[in-house]
Structure 1
């Protein structure tokens, strides 16, 4: 049975264009369109689509508000379309906080080298997030405030608020209870010593990283490298948002800056992040993304660099995301004696990158998202 898709956009041209692409895949079918957020909420309730594509800026009701209302009444996988601007980045992150699962730039030429590649990517994204439909249900408790609603009151980095509950897809895209082998009732530290934490992710990563990082204490003893597949105009806004929500410091990485404990460095979009120097005296190295690289930033590149500098002293994780980026870098980390964990299937938005690591026998533990921060604290003897 084809995946049923509701297309939401106030532009008739864009609705037609997206519908043609989606209907070009025999696995997908556009069942209707909506011209604003209010109509989207109504049609989501009436038609029960498997996936919704959603514009952000629309009359009557904007896309962020529509996402929030749909997630409270008829939780559905939602793919946002966004402009590649700083304001567009902030709005897209608000939509992800509200419960959207993924996003794509509205200008297709910004996401691919040619039209055929863009068409395939859109069809693939819709198919992938449709798989989460079975795990989504209406929340049984009152909703928590979204980041969009609290942005205006967000504290500065010098006055960080306590860790906040996230109003994200995790509040509505509820997965089944994790299997016992993946989530032991009590974790035990391995006894290893670490000098660096490295986390790679893609689709679903912004929400996942927010959940993991917001639970870490201000005195976290190690530097953290974050590699999130994300456009160049998004990473600065994303780092700023995380910095306001977390007790640790979070920043977009800059070339040449030294790695400091208690700071997370987000790889800039469109570039590659590496480590230069020697363990204990390392600096960030930002280089051109390269035309031949599929991912900019690339998890494999950063993980490989970390392995060469830190050897067996890296605690690494591969979280939700499409594809297999991170597998080769994780393999190199493991060969050097470092630790590799993967997010489990049930809690992933897309079980691609973690699956690649798990199937290759590289990860030593497969963890549900809501217990990864706990596992980190235990491993580093912080609890």
Structure 2
């Protein structure tokens, strides 16, 4: 029998602590070993027993969560999931949390927090499991939560392609999907792209209000241009478009030119934006002109869409297990038989550029 994932909840709100404990312990693979009202109380509990995962608020008395995160990562690295309303303010706090070593960011509203947490039950459970897997890389994934909500596929946003996409000559384009661990993986990938690289569209699972700051940060360190997508943004050489948090991004085509559509819609594969939605739109409108890569992440978002791309003649790549923070999404894509090549992170950019020539 697999050992349960032991979680320490650190939040100054009693309502949040109680609600999160109820949510996490509804899954048989998770045990809440304790709660703490602030980082000082958390440090005392960690001295007595080290948790597998910490959920951490940012705004707390006596010491803020970011300071505590930086200290704990230097002294006793433990996977941390940030759960905070402060993560939404311009995205800067979330970026700092990732820089300091947080595995996942979940933004919560300042009002209606209890209802939000309850409605986001599966997301929280998956985030904790993904964090735990960064330490238990070889362990079997824990069982799924009890009574999961219905899981929609890309049909909820875009119909499946009927036959192959038009063969009219167009430029090759790259479609990328990632989740847990993807912020660092995308930095490595995008920094390796040359200034004249093919157009790139990216879905990275992240909160609303975070993607603009994330794109701005990447734009400042990469040779290519990196932007948060807006509805109607053209796909251009030397540019990567990142789907905005809480919006789906689809590839569309006008003549021989590609652009993106940004839209609302239901969660697909439990995510919005969804990699499956982006990949299906690529299969529908670009077909063999697509080179797609699926990177580190928890769950199976993107696996079906990658198989659809494969079936219409696109070239598909999965990141290998050794370089993934969590091998879930690439592994599920490989299982479908829709992956041409499995590569370490450091070789994906060169492969994408080479296949787009």
The answer to whether TM tops 0.5 is yes
Aligned to 1:206: 183
Gaps of 5+ in 2: 139-169
1:267 maps to which residue?
243
Q: CA deviation at 1:41?
A: 4.6
Residues 285, 27 of structure 1: alpha-carbon distance in 2 compared, 3 angstrom cutoff: closer
Q: CA deviation at 1:361?
A: 1.3
Q: Shift of the alpha carbon at 1:114?
A: 7.8
SS of 2:292 mapped into structure 1: strand
Q: CA deviation at 1:341?
A: 0.8
Deviation at 1:27, TM superposition (A): 2.5
Whether 1:231 and 2:233 are equivalent positions in the alignment is no
Displacement, 1:374? 4.6
- Provide closer, same or farther for how the CA distance between residues 307 and 75 of structure 1 changes in structure 2, counting only shifts above 3 A: same
Indicate conservation of the 8 Å contact 2:85/2:110, yes or no: no
Structure 2 distance, partners of 1:276, 1:380, is 18
Which is bigger in relative contact order (C-alpha 8 A, separation at least 6)? Answer: 2
Q: Give the 3-state SS of the residue equivalent to 1:81 in structure 2.
A: strand
Contact 1:105 1:111 in 2 (8 A): no
Cα distance in 1, alignment partners of residues 114 and 343 from structure 2: 32
2:295 and 2:319 in contact (8 A); partners too: yes
Displacement of 1:252 in angstroms is 1.1
Could you tell me how far apart the structure 2 residues matched to 1:206 and 1:215 are?
A: 15
Quick one: structure 1 residues 324 and 293, their matched pair in 2 at CA, closer, same or farther if it must change by over 3 Å? closer
User: Where do 1:167-178 residues align within 5 Å?
Assistant: none
Deviation at 1:206, TM superposition (A): 1.9
Secondary structure of the equivalent of 2:251?
A: strand
Equivalent residue number for residue 80 of structure 1: 82
Point out where structure 1 has 5 or more consecutive residues left out of the alignment: 137-192
Q: Displacement of 1:92 after TM fit?
A: 1.5
Aligned to 2:101: 99
Q: Secondary structure at the match of 1:251?
A: strand
CA contact (8 A) 1:37 1:65 kept: no
Matches within 5 A, 1:6-155: 6-41=8-43, 43-83=45-85, 86-87=88-89, 89-107=91-109, 117-134=119-136
What does the per-residue CA deviation read over 1:298-342, in whole Å, with 9 as the maximum and x for residues that have no partner? 222222222333321221111122322212221221122211111
Report the counterpart of residue 181 of structure 1 in structure 2. Answer: none
Asked if 2 retains the 8 angstrom alpha-carbon contact of 1:289 and 1:297, the reply is no
Question: Does 1:335 pair with 2:327?
Answer: no
Q: Report the TM-score, using the length of structure 2 for normalisation.
A: 0.79
CA distance in 2, matches of 1:223, 1:73: 42
Question: Against the structure 1 CA distance between its residues 38 and 380, is the aligned structure 2 distance closer, same or farther, given a 3 Å change threshold?
Answer: farther
- Of 357, 369, 373, 2:333 maps to 357
- Cα 1:256–1:117, aligned 2, differ >3 Å: closer, same or farther? closer
Q: Deviation per CA, 1:250-271, whole angstroms, max 9, x where unpaired?
A: 1111222321111101112232
For 1:258 and 1:7, how far apart are their aligned partners in 2?
43
**How far, CA to CA, are the matches of 1:110 and 1:236 in structure 2?**
25
Matches of 2:25 and 2:53, distance apart in 1:
13
Aligned residue pairs: how many? 324
In the aligned structure 1, how far is the partner of 2:112 from the partner of 2:339?
Answer: 33
Alpha-carbon spacing, 1:335–1:119, altered in 2? closer, same or farther (3 Å): closer
Per-residue CA distance 1:240-298 (angstroms, 9 max, x = gap): 22212222111111222321111101112232222333574222222332477843222
Aligned to 1:367: 343
Distance verdict in 2 for CA 1:285–1:131, change over 3 Å: closer
- Following superposition, the deviation at residue 54 of structure 1 comes to 0.8
User: Normalization by structure 1: what TM-score?
Assistant: 0.74
Q: Superposition RMSD on alpha carbons, in Å?
A: 3.1
Residue 248 (str. 1) matches residue 224 (str. 2): yes
Distance in 2 separating the partners of 1:24 and 1:311? 42
Deviation at 1:81, TM superposition (A): 0.4
Is the CA contact 1:278–1:310 (under 8 Å) kept in the aligned structure 2? Answer: no
Alignment check: 8 A CA contact 1:82 1:92 kept: no
1:314 and 2:290 correspond: yes
- Tell me the residue number matched to 1:145: none
1:372 CA drift (Å): 2.8
